Amino acid sequence: MISLESLDLSYNQLRDEILVTLAMLDCLAYLNLSYNNLRGRIPTNPHFYTLHPDGTAYIGNRYLCGSVDGMNCSKIVPSTNETTENIYDQENVLFIGVIFSSFVTGISGVFLLLYLIDDNWRNRYWRAVDRIVLKIVNSKP
């Protein structure tokens, strides 16, 4: 598929956005996506604009931003790709928050057990912590 030179998908009732992966086909010399139900923005890739600089490859897609007979680009809502990326970012923040809170809960449980079990364990633990802190403080850069 990387060496694809010609692609005519006109009159296929395609819907939604033009795939960004089409813009990565550097060998593509001819592309026709006219008369479909495409919407969103035409991918911004210098090679993509050289295929049909006059916009004839996108005629008949009235909800496609940037085509000859399409919508005005300033009034278009964010693409589903951008929305999906925002959702992934939110999920990543939530994931990191859950991992961090789990870590804090686990460490708190260890401290609580040390205090509840025995004075001897508690004293050994804090002596070990003091030794580590002294090694860090006394180390020379």
Per-residue pLDDT, 130 = 94
Q: Write the single-letter amino acid at 80.
A: T
In our burial notation (b when 16+ CB lie closer than 10 A, e otherwise), range 117-132 reads eeeeeeeeeeeeeeee
The average pLDDT across 14-31 equals 82
Which residue's entry shows tokens 């809170």? 101
Confidence class of residue 134 from pLDDT cuts 50, 70 and 90?
very high
Which of 28 and 130 is assigned the larger pLDDT? 130
The average pLDDT across 41-50 equals 74
Q: What is the pTM of this model?
A: 0.48
Q: In terms of C-beta density within 10 A (0-12 exposed, 13-18 middle, 19 or more buried), how is residue 81 classed? A: middle
CB contact set of 118 (below 8 Å; sequence gap of 6+): none
